[in-house]
Structure 1
């Protein structure tokens, strides 16, 4: 007696696009063993056009799930073939095939035999759509863009780069960038952005296991923060405030003109020139320089004297 099997590629609850209660009796899962799965699906015979039509009519008119199952199983090889074309996105091929199988079942459910098409012709569009949605959903946690143009760019960029022999890392050459953007009807900036994201290989989880003594070390365990610690930042902030207090006290030892010249020459974000200050005070540039130098010496001496009460704030 032949073993009864159940197809485990039945649409999951997250697949909102699928509706219906098609249940198949085959236990075949590409995620549990790809080679065994591929060998198993080769055992299902291809359907002749007349037989396919009869099965489709039985499914559409009578809801015969056995007929639907036979149409699905006879096209599992088609799904696997299409899915293999999406191996370059770094996703488990078993999962890609499973998503394609969902698209196949959607196609069989909606297939109208009276329109004269073969199931394979109709189903390939559903299969590709299901796989592409999965790739876009899984390849990056950051939304890739869901417009028709963005999808077309995502799924054609690698192929076009291959044709141009431009698969090396880095930005595209201007002539390649222009051709791709023109052929796909998108902006050059969109091509550059997509190419950079795809060259990065998609998103990576911080919880990826990368070895260690017991084999359980994760990527995040090896990440280091190069920024200064909170303790260092707090210490620097406190030191800065102390220095500013010393400066404020020392400035009180200068007269009004000296304070103004030091402020505008040494403390302003955009220091004034000697020429500008000379015009303000009606003196020569040399005189302004002398006043600034004397004021700075007085300021420095006052700060050093004040810092003696709190050593470490000013280095000699």
Structure 2
């Protein structure tokens, strides 16, 4: 059994990269590197009920669909419904592949994901890493239920935002944080535990080459077939497809590397961070103060966060190949 300091909750909107991140985390769980206490589901890449199904389909690859707790969470953002992507990840979040997969029992516990987060943090204070792979709505709701909950994590690791301005929703916005800026604001202004952010621009420069992806797929195992199926819609994507992109954008997968394989990660110093809530063109933009001029900061109740800037992609590929074997 993993030691206390390796307890993990994964909060996910289970799209393609989330599923691979889960596969890596589940392999680590099985090897005793971490202990996954729960997987909490949130809307994002698809609707929350489909997210639940996608999580169970991924768990089944490891025979853990009856073992690890799965809890359904928020179906909408705190303020307004943004709408789901239906191109990059497919309508079902897994490349429009779910209809080809065998049916699975997707019965979750009755407890809401936010309440489960609160209960687990109360049970294991200062011992849990929260891995956030989607919008932060479940975390924000947990904070509303139990105001000090966000201070009781050992660490929050989230994929979202950007350091440089090269967005995947708008010019200055990234999908996860854009989907619920108010939730991001609640997390940033009500948490004091260490926070590490995997920004979108780092994801763009740390891609797994398609030849390495093919080496995994060609193993012809149950996991490799699942991987090939869920990436079908991405193959032909006009920006990230095989003919235009040098490799697979890892995104949420990097969050698991941060949590478990920190030696292959490079981090920045801590910087003050905030989220833009009102901008006509910049709503949902993560603001990072790298000036070092504390006397002119305009953030209110700002908190500090570190950012992932580099991943040793060769070592990451080795880890992934073993995990997805």
**TM-score bucket (shorter structure):** under 0.3
Higher relative contact order (CA 8 A, sep 6+): 2
TM-score with structure 1 setting the length = 0.22
TM-score with structure 2 setting the length = 0.21
Higher strand share: 2
